[in-house]
Structure 1
Amino acid sequence: MKHEEAFYIGYVTKTRGLKGEVQIFFEFDDYEKLSFDVVFADMNGKLVPYFVASAKLQVNKTGYFNFDDLDHVDKAQPLLRKKLYLPLSHMPERDEDEFFYTDLKGFTAIDETLGELGEITEVNEYPQQFVATVFYKDTEILFPLNEDFIIEIDDEEKVLKLDLPDGLLDIYLNK
């Protein structure tokens, strides 16, 4: 499986007990709707399958998982802090009118002051906010996807209109 054929759900935070059980922290919002027969761990850039023997989801965006063939804490150690993915076929259906910041990937970002910034190449979720990446004047620029900065999202034209704070891009451009 390739990264393009999967979506990110979270990462392994720690082991639990001596029988190879691990705790997973979910960064995917609707983790309760996911089906877990197999998860893929990013091991040095390759997605490696781990077949789920049991899963106990918690209300605090975590879950406790046992995997086939991981029957001891030592065997689970290599999974610590590894990102986990599911195949795109496991992505839950969503309503037509539902829109997520991650949907902005591929949109053209246009700032009110600076004009067109470029295509959003990546949208990453961090604990406090979502951050978009564009290449502007041959430089990678990151900016928060914050309601205060977003003027309009044109889903038809795939355009994101922004009013970024003065000086934000100068951080990247004045090196």
Structure 2
Amino acid sequence: MEYIVIGKVIDTFGVKGELKVLPMAPEEVFEKLKRVYLKRVGGEYVPFKVEGVRRHENFLLIKFKGYNDLGSVEQFKGAHLFLPEKELPKRDEEEFYAYELIGMEVVTNKGKRLGKVKRVEDFGVYDMLVLENEKIMIPFVSDIVLNVDRRERRIEVKEELVLF
């Protein structure tokens, strides 16, 4: 089973066991969240029942069932939250999760190979594709990205709009 990172615990929040989480997936992933998984170093994914999720500024506050005080949740600082890929909400044909784009080959409409997507950065208004050498960054917007082929794992971009 493939697990996908959906957030990172930045810190604790308050004294009632809430965790301050940086979301790394669309908000709808968290709307009906019943459980998440944390991975032990060198070990298995461990499930945690989610008691509640609420927004706080640019973060989410998540409370695990049975963890009701600050001392019980401090151990989770820095941990990543995971979900099995099959539990993620389905996306429309033209929508993508960031993890789907990582590793895709990026080429221009004139056939020039630019490299593979190393990571996807959230710039608020749009996402930015950061390529493997980290010298090329491409806004993931329809004016620049012409086609994303999931099967071929290839992204075609308009060469005239990409700065090298």
Query: TM over 0.5, yes or no?
Result: yes
Cα distance in 2 for residues equivalent to 1:81 and 1:153: 36
Cα distance in 1 for residues equivalent to 2:30 and 2:12: 24
Cα distance in 1 for residues equivalent to 2:17 and 2:30: 25
| Residues 139-154 of structure 1 aligned to structure 2 (within 5 Å) | 140-146=133-139, 147=141, 150=144, 152-153=146-147
| C-alpha distance after superposition, 1:61-111 (max 9, x if no partner) | 543322244333122112123221111121101223x22373434533224
- Secondary structure in structure 2 of the residue aligned to 1:92: coil
| Residues 54-65 of structure 1 aligned to structure 2 (within 5 Å) | 54-58=51-55, 60=57, 62-65=59-62
Give the alignment's TM-score, normalised by structure 2: 0.69
Which residue of the other structure, out of 150, 158, 161, is the alignment partner of 2:157?
161
Root mean square deviation, CA, Å: 3.4
Percent of aligned pairs with the same amino acid: 21
Say how many residue pairs are matched: 156
- The AA in structure 1 aligned to 2:8 is Y
Kept in 2: contact 1:39–1:86 (CA 8 A): yes
Give the alignment's TM-score, normalised by structure 1: 0.65
| C-alpha distance after superposition, 1:8-54 (max 9, x if no partner) | 21222322232322122323123356542321235546564241241
- Provide the residue aligned with 1:19 in structure 2: 16
- The AA in structure 1 aligned to 2:130 is A
Kept in 2: contact 1:34–1:90 (CA 8 A): no
- Provide the residue aligned with 2:96 in structure 1: 100
Unmatched tracts of structure 1, length 5 or more: 135-139, 167-175
Which residue of the other structure, out of 106, 110, 118, is the alignment partner of 1:109?
106
Cα distance in 1 for residues equivalent to 2:130 and 2:110: 18
Give the 3 Å change call, closer, same or farther, for CA 148–34 of structure 1 in structure 2: closer
